[in-house]
Chains A and B, each alone.
Chain A
């Protein structure tokens, strides 16, 4: 069965600090990978996605993620966080060409202090 593991449940940073959120998945086949974000009081929105091609994917608001197939990882990074990045971040995968359903991790709550 597919699963997604997000190692950090709660991360606290000061503005301008660098961010890396870990995401590992368990699935033997080919996957599509996603990071979603939920800002306080808002709905889930797509931050970035990887389907194929360049494993370094750039998303909105200066975020990027790198797919490392050998490590089954898709870590999210941002070189310098802002207070407005305070949100909950979810990594998700789906089995390519097999299903559209998304398998989510438990989420990482990020708090950025000015």
Chain B
């Protein structure tokens, strides 16, 4: 079974440009999450999709960030325009539909996309 994949693995852009990150979750996983780690700091939650719907977007930093999950499969995270402070590693994770008996389920992480804004 293929794991969570992310593209690209690295992206270097200039301030003001646009970048789109892609995440392909594990097949059949309804839940998809985006997280970000700024250098030296903790991994921070950005948002959570259940299928194509945004369940929780409380972690999105500002309106320069736009996440979509058309058709409930892969997801994209667009940063427009990018700023210096957007540099970091963007992780995607996915999990199955939570069984009724469990309060949550294991999230499987992708390798991350390292974004550098110059």
Complex partner residue of A104 from B31, B42, B102, B110, CB under 8 angstroms: B42
Instruction: Tell me whether A96 is interfacial, beta carbon within 8 Å.
Output: yes
Cβ contact within 8 Å between B104 and A43: no
Cβ contact within 8 Å between A100 and B31: yes
Cβ contact within 8 Å between A51 and B103: yes
Cβ contact within 8 Å between B103 and A103: no
Cβ contact within 8 Å between A100 and B33: yes
Complex partner residue of B109 from A45, A94, A100, A106, CB under 8 angstroms: A45
Which of chain A's residues has its CB closest to B112's CB? A43
From B12-20, B43-51, B70-78, B79-87, the one touching the partner chain is B43-51
Cβ contact within 8 Å between A44 and B56: no
Nearest-neighbour CB distance to chain A for B56, whole angstroms, equals: 6
Cβ contact within 8 Å between B103 and A96: yes
Binary per-residue interface labels of chain B (58-97) against chain A in the complex, 1 for a CB within 8 Å, 0 otherwise: 1100000000000000000000000000000001010100
For the complex, count residues of B whose C-beta is within 8 A of A: 31
With A and B bound together, what is the CA distance between A103 and B41 in angstroms? Answer: 12
With A and B bound together, what is the CA distance between A92 and B45 in angstroms? Answer: 11
Which residues of B are found within 8 Å of A101, using beta-carbon distances? 33, 45, 48, 56, 58-59
Instruction: Tell me whether A99 is interfacial, beta carbon within 8 Å.
Output: yes
CB<8 Å pairs between A and B, sample of 22: A32-B103, A36-B109, A43-B91, A43-B112, A44-B91, A45-B109, A46-B106, A49-B106, A51-B104, A96-B103, A96-B104, A100-B33, A100-B98, A100-B104, A101-B48, A101-B56, A102-B33, A102-B35, A102-B43, A104-B35, A104-B43, A106-B41
